[in-house]
Structure 1
Amino acid sequence: MAMMWSSASATAVTTLPTRPIPGSYGPPLVGPLKDRLDYFWFQGPETFFRSRMATHKSTVFRTNMPPTFPFFVGVDPRVVTVLDCTSFSALFDLEVVEKKNILIGDYMPSLSFTGDTRVVVYLDPSEPDHARVKSFCLELLRRGAKTWVSSFLSNLDVMLATIEQGIAKDGSAGLFGPLQKCIFAFLCKSIIGADPSVSPDVGENGFVMLDKWLALQLLPTVKVGAIPQPLEEILLHSFPLPFFLVSRDYRKLYEFVEKQGQEVVQRAETEHGLSKHDAINNILFVLGFNAFGGFSVFFPTLLTTIGRDKTGLREKLKDEVRRVMKSRGEKRPSFETVREMELVRSTVYEVLRLNPPVPLQYGRARTDFTLNSHDAAFKVEKGELLCGYQPLVMRDPAVFDDPETFAPERFMGSGKELLKYVFWSNGPETGTPTPANKQCAAKDYVVETACLLMAEIFYRYDEFVCADDAISVTKLDRATERE
């Protein structure tokens, strides 16, 4: 059984022994460069954190995080790492940490990528603009809820037909391309209120434009593995990548929102006090970075995890989906329907626990404070940057039994109590996004849409199998009988 875990805040007054934060940053230039090479090349992110945690015998320690030397001017790589559920929760305590300009650490991509607008993700809740823009983002989602399910399912039909055709022709079909087209089209309809096909270029290539735009912002901080070392270090991790490579694409997307999303842009101006320019840039960020980027990472992981399972999970999912659909007399799933599918929902949570779409979370100390882990307290000074690596945090053995194992039923029944330790959305799964916090505005929509995806697949198909070594589907058999 997991250890009993205190529900006390990571910053609450406790009687834990106080100890210095272990670890060091090493000599200038040399220390950050060594840590960067370990992170990207010699160890990889997970081993990087695990090895230091073992060396220091602590889930809290000092290290450097890329990007670093030589051409990242003004970027301070020094962080205090937090790798257990208690210390990690300090990142959500806005009384002691701030979130200004730290989406991916001390490095911030050029504002050119967001039309020279500091979009909502870079704003701290203490800044007056944050509540106004976050309120607009929440309204975008509420309004989009009217067409969210129908738009998703209609585009999912196209995606699944494409995959079926690919399997019939070649014996397998790539999942990523059709899935991204589906995600982009349904998000445009739900968030902007526009069908991307009205613009042939955006309709055909919009998802590729967003892929390139995302890549140039994130590549300096991400291990890719697609090109051999040391080329990856030299070409991708040594300097900021320039906006001009995607400037034409961004302009096309901007003009698409400006023309086709006039209603939502006008609402941002009249009801939330945003300028037209800032409204469009925030819409594009919510659409492209938060929603499209997040779904593009999470959905392939969800589908391949289930499609590669050898434990009989797919049969259990199919049975639950068809039983609930039959009891409700429905032919297509809805948000209301999938809320009754306990195993489907628990499976989604378990994949989010093991493979959160955003692996790293940051927060800068707003003041001096005491940071608690499970077994010690540490003094953090104002201005220090905290960094949490979520795939390890949510495998905390003090909280989760058998934490490294994929357990689809983990969050069923009394297991729902563990949802307060599932932090993938920049807050606990039991939390609620508001204009006053930094929790993902679309948190609930992500879970519901993932459940919708699984329900549609297991209602429609008797078998769904993915390749073990590729993001592709090898078997997709139409249902012969539905319970």
Structure 2
Amino acid sequence: MSSSSSKQELPLKQIPGSYGLPFFGPIRDRHDYFYHQGRDNFFANRIKQYNSTVIKTNMPPGPFISSNSQVIALLDGVSFPILFDNTKVQKHNVLDGTFMPSTSFTGGYRVCAYLDTTEPNHAILKRFFINILLSKNDSFIPLFRNTISDSFSELEDQLSGENGKSNFNAAICSAVFNFMFRLLCDDKDPSETNLGSKGPGLFDKWLLFQLAPLATLGLPKIFNYIEDFVIRTVPFPFCFAKSGYKELYEAFSKEAKTVLDEAEKVLFEMIL
């Protein structure tokens, strides 16, 4: 008997784990995840408790932002490929886990990352992105190399300064933004646009207010429940990021002519 047929005949087992009581279970798991155990121990403890690397659990942010916190966690290399099986995994509005930020942050649209693979627009948009990357194949690597090189030169200048310190995260975030902007905007340097040097900061702010419920500030324990109440009771409204989003929108609208011309063709295809 072949090994493949043996695997098919293995008996099915119930997935271990627990979601706990409605409302209270997700909050308990959320506090364990962020404050009592931490991310790594949260999963490690449950693997040990249930003697399994595939478990049922709740994931942040939970009530009231997420209407359903229940997930099945795949915590080993053998089960992980199941995530790529579209017949077994539903990918509707789950880019950020168990909740979806307001579409106000994305111009009122459910962007490709939130679409399930069964939705017609998913294939159209995915093909558009792949075609854009293919059209940039000659400039992708050189542009990336130059951007990273400039970033490390900046870090070296900071290290050789009076303080002898550098901010690696800020430099890399800036490099990533500059690379993506120049890639999509025909090699236009964002510092030469209305953004100036503000682009990375505006992008981080736009992202922050969407993903805040999935983060923690690392405050002293006495403030844990205050933090939890503030950032995980209701989602942050778009108005906090609106002005920065408008600046980003205007910059890309003006400079990304080639990409936007192709996007118009895709939009026409989606309408039809």
1:203 is matched with 196
**Cα distance per residue 1:306-343 (max 9 Å; x no partner):** xxxxxxxxxxxxxxxxxxxxxxxxxxxxxxxxxxxxxx
- Do residues 142 (structure 1) and 137 (structure 2) align? no
Label 1:234 to 1:161 Cα distance change in 2 as closer, same or farther (>3 A). same
Q: Which of structures 1 and 2 has the larger relative contact order (alpha carbons within 8 angstroms, sep 6+)?
A: 1
SS in 1 for 2:136: helix
2:140·2:183 contact (CA, 8 Å) conserved in 1? yes
Give the conservation status (yes or no) of the 8 Å contact 1:113–1:243. yes
Q: Counterparts of 1:223 and 1:274 in 2: how far apart (Å)? A: 42
**Which residue of structure 2 lines up, in the alignment, with residue 128 of structure 1?**
120
Pair 1:181–1:23, CA change in 2 (3 A):
closer
- Whichever structure has more helix as a proportion of its residues is 2
Structure 1 residue 273 corresponds to structure 2 residue 267:
yes
CA distance in 1, matches of 2:193, 2:264: 24
How far residue 46 of structure 1 moved from its aligned partner, in angstroms, is 1.1
CA distance in 2, matches of 1:251, 1:226: 32
Match of 2:102 among 107, 110, 122: 110
- Judged with a 3 Å threshold, the aligned counterparts in structure 2 of structure 1 residues 275 and 208 are, in CA distance, closer, same or farther, namely farther
Are residue 160 (structure 1) and residue 116 (structure 2) matched?
no
Deviation at 1:58, TM superposition (A): 1.1
Retained in 1: the 8 A contact 2:60–2:98? no
With normalisation by structure 1, the TM-score equals: 0.51
TM superposition shift of 1:97: 2.2
Question: 1:273: how far off?
Answer: 3.5
Q: CA deviation at 1:57?
A: 0.8
CA distance in 1, matches of 2:3, 2:102: 39
How do 1:236-275 residues align onto structure 2 when only pairs under 5 Å count? 236-270=231-265, 272-274=266-268
**Comparing 119-128 with 175-184, which one deviates more in the overlay?**
175-184
**Structure 1 residue 132, shift from structure 2 partner:** 0.9
Inter-partner Cα distance in structure 2 for 1:100 and 1:163: 40
What is residue 73 of structure 2 aligned with on the other side?
Answer: 81
Query: Paired residue for 1:219?
Result: 212
Structure 1 residues 224 and 140: CA distance shift in structure 2, 3 A: farther
Does structure 2 conserve the Cα–Cα contact (< 8 Å) formed by 1:132 and 1:273? no
The reply to whether residue 63 of structure 1 matches residue 57 of structure 2 is: yes
Q: Does 2:188 align with 1:192?
A: no
Residue 43 of structure 2 is matched in structure 1 by 49
Take 1:145 and 1:32, find their aligned partners in 2: how far apart are those partners? 45
Contact 1:148 1:186 in 2 (8 A): no
Instruction: Specify whether residues 221 and 35 from structure 1 end up closer, same or farther in structure 2 by C-alpha distance, changes over 3 A only.
Output: same
Sequence identity of aligned pairs in percent? 36
For residues 7 and 138 of structure 1, what CA distance do their matches in structure 2 show? 37
Whole-angstrom CA distance in 2 between matches of 1:165 and 1:96: 50
Deviation at 1:214, TM superposition (A): 1.1
Q: CA RMSD in A?
A: 2.5
User: Where in structure 1 do 4 or more consecutive aligned residues deviate above 3 Å?
Assistant: 6-9, 273-276
Q: Gaps spanning 5+ residues in structure 2: where?
A: none
Task: State the Cα distance separating 1:133 from its structure 2 match.
Answer: 0.5
Superposition pairs of residues 57-456 of structure 1, within 5 angstroms: 57-69=51-63, 71-72=64-65, 75-169=67-161, 170-193=163-186, 194-200=188-194, 202-225=195-218, 228-270=223-265, 272-274=266-268
